[in-house]
């Protein structure tokens, strides 16, 4: 089993339940973890035998552009796109952190983590 991780990919996006959040935007950090059994020999040193983390970043970047009320929705969209691009994955975990969420007190970030296992 191989696991590819992309950590703290930073985006400025307009997700949020309240209209002000969708107007002002926020910083988000995205972590992606993808587990899979290699389809080829890793010693062949070929990108096609693994999950390309540049493509993971591009998927997250594209999905973060679509304003949503819930970061859960964004997370699931990222997972669905990864599973479509890399059908050989066994599991995908996405964590989206909203930096300094608009609450009454100081909070570093709120987050949602979704894990999807492929049968």
pLDDT of residue 2: 96
pLDDT of residue 74: 98
> Rounded to the nearest 10 degrees, how much is the dihedral formed by the CA atoms of 31, 32, 35, 38?
-120
pLDDT in tens, 34-66: 999 988 899 999 998 999 999 999 999 999 999
pLDDT of residue 39: 80
Among residues 22, 25, 23, 24, which one has the least CA distance to residue 10? 25
Give the separation between CA 15 and CA 74, rounded to whole angstroms. 9
Within 32-109, residue ranges assigned H as helices are 53-64, 71-85
User: Whole-model pTM?
Assistant: 0.95
CATH number of the domain that residue 97 is part of: 3.30.1130.10
pLDDT of residue 118: 87
Residue ranges in the chain whose pLDDT is less than 70 = none
Structurally, the chain folds into a number of domains equal to 1
Q: Domain of 29?
A: 2-117
Give the separation between CA 109 and CA 111, rounded to whole angstroms. 6
Structure tokens at 17: 């339940």
pLDDT of residue 40: 86
């Amino acid at each position: 089993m191989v696991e590819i991780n992309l950590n703290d990919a930073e985006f400025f996006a307009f997700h949020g339940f309240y209209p002000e959040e969708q107007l002002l935007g926020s910083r988000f950090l995205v972590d992606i973890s993808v587990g899979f059994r290699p389809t080829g020999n890793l010693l062949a040193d070929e990108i096609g035998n693994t999950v390309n983390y540049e493509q993971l970043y591009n998927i997250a970047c594209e999905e973060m552009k679509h304003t949503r009320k819930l970061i859960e929705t964004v997370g699931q969209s990222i997972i669905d796109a990864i599973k479509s691009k890399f059908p050989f994955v066994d599991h995908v975990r996405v964590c989206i952190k909203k930096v300094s969420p608009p609450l009454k007190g100081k909070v570093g970030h709120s987050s949602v983590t979704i894990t999807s296992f492929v049968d």
